[in-house]
């Protein structure tokens, strides 16, 4: 799961019973419109909690043939201050806290985000060290390679204050224990399924002007909804009705 609680962190408090009742049945809508003449629709919907999809609606401006789909996408949701940071150290630096931007990532995207943030780190930049980060859907492993020298991973950086010492994003990468200096270093646990998609709507060369799906789907925080079309000389409007599960 994307979220893991750490003793040194402020814990998410239990929601009072009355608040849980009041929060029930509050559907939310994601709506959009796009001319798909030059570029097809490619939208990912995700939340910071387990959630359910109540309905999905596509509306097209004309009957020109087009493909459209809705897929459940496997990945990891990064939530600010809950699972967004981890510690790495180059042989010539002190431990560096790397913070990921919040959002939903496939395994490939998560690897790219870690590379972006490590390459932007001032201490690593001062050494002219950049990184290659890769995710293998086959092995379920992330590998992190510096352009020069060796790096290590700290599952808990005891050099800093207890509040911030845990690598709260480590488990997203299968990093759940300290990893000694090396090049490359790799996950110590496998993380499978981060690039997988499962179709719930899959229409090819369809000429319908409206499609409505209302078969309720329960998703967890590590799943997103991926809406796609190919190109066609029309406009598509889409609507997703969903609820967070409190």
Q: What is the CATH number of the domain that holds 38?
A: 2.60.120.1330
What average pLDDT is seen over the chain? 93
Distances (CA, A) of 196 to 138, 140, 168, 226, 233: 11, 12, 24, 11, 30
Q: Are 224 and 43 in contact (CB under 8 A)?
A: no
Altogether, the residues listed in the chain come to a count of 246
Confidence of residue 246 (pLDDT cuts 50, 70, 90): confident
**160 vs 27: CA distance, rounded Å:** 42
Residue 12 lies inside a defined structural domain of this protein: no
**136 and 165 fall within a common domain:** yes
Task: List, in sequence order, every residue forming a beta bridge with 198; answer none if it has no partner.
Answer: 72
Give the residue numbers spanning the domain of 166. Answer: 81-186
**131 and 111 fall within a common domain:** yes
Q: For the chain, give the percent of residues with pLDDT over 70.
A: 92
Residue 8 lies inside a defined structural domain of this protein: no
**53 and 98 fall within a common domain:** no
Residue 54 lies inside a defined structural domain of this protein: yes
The pLDDT of residue 16 is above 60: no
**70 and 85 fall within a common domain:** no
**179 and 98 fall within a common domain:** yes
Q: What is the mean pLDDT of residues 189-216?
A: 96
**112 and 182 fall within a common domain:** yes
Confidence of residue 3 (pLDDT cuts 50, 70, 90): confident
Give the residue from 186, 209, 232 where a domain finishes: 186
**2 vs 51: CA distance, rounded Å:** 14
Q: Are 112 and 119 in contact (CB under 8 A)?
A: no
Residue 23 lies inside a defined structural domain of this protein: no
- pLDDT tens-place string over residues 147-161: 999 999 999 999 999
How confident is the model at residue 15, as a pLDDT?
Answer: 53
**107 and 158 fall within a common domain:** yes
- Longest CA span, the chain: 63
> Tokens at residue 95, please?
């431990």
How confident is the model at residue 25, as a pLDDT?
Answer: 62
**162 and 226 fall within a common domain:** no
**85 and 178 fall within a common domain:** yes
For the chain, the domain total comes to 2
Q: Are 123 and 90 in contact (CB under 8 A)?
A: yes
Residue 98 lies inside a defined structural domain of this protein: yes
How confident is the model at residue 10, as a pLDDT?
Answer: 56
How confident is the model at residue 23, as a pLDDT?
Answer: 54
The pLDDT of residue 19 is above 90: no
How confident is the model at residue 24, as a pLDDT?
Answer: 58
Exposure string for 39-77, b = 16+ CB within 10 A, e = fewer: ebbebbbbbbebbebbbbbbebeeeeebebbbbbbbbbb
Residue 15 lies inside a defined structural domain of this protein: no
Q: Which of 104, 125, 140 is nearest to 224 (CA)?
A: 104
H or E, element range at 107 = helix 107-119
Cis peptide before 184 (omega within 30 of 0): yes
Give the residue from 186, 206, 229 where a domain finishes: 186
Confidence of residue 75 (pLDDT cuts 50, 70, 90): very high
**235 and 143 fall within a common domain:** no
Q: What is the mean pLDDT of residues 93-108?
A: 98
- pLDDT tens-place string over residues 104-140: 999 999 999 999 999 999 999 999 999 999 999 999 9
Torsion angle (degrees, nearest 10) of CA 194, 200, 205, 207: -140
> Tokens at residue 163, please?
């509040």
**91 and 178 fall within a common domain:** yes
């Amino acid at each position: 799961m994307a979220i893991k609680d750490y003793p040194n962190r402020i814990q998410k408090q239990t929601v009072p019973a009355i608040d849980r009742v009041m929060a029930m049945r509050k559907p939310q809508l994601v709506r959009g419109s796009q001319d798909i003449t030059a570029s097809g629709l490619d939208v990912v919907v995700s939340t910071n909690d387990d959630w359910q999809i109540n309905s999905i609606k596509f509306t097209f401006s004309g009957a020109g043939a087009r493909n459209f789909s809705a897929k459940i996408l496997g990945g990891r949701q990064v939530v600010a201050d809950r699972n967004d940071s981890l510690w790495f150290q180059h042989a010539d630096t002190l431990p560096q806290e790397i913070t990921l931007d919040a959002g939903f990532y496939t395994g490939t995207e998560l690897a790219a985000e870690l590379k972006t943030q490590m390459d932007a780190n001032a201490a690593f930049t001062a050494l002219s060290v950049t990184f290659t980060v890769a995710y293998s859907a086959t092995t379920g492993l992330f590998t992190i390679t510096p352009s020069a020298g060796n790096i290590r991973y700290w599952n808990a950086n005891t050099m800093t204050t207890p509040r911030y010492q845990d690598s709260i994003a480590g488990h997203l990468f299968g990093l759940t224990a300290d990893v000694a200096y090396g090049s490359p270093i790799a996950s110590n646990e496998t993380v499978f399924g981060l690039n997988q998609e499962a179709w719930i709507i899959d229409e090819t060369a369809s000429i319908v002007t409206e499609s409505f799906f209302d078969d309720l789907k329960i998703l967890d925080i590590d799943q997103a909804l991926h809406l796609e079309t190919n190109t066609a000389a029309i406009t598509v409007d889409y609507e997703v009705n969903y609820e967070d599960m409190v």
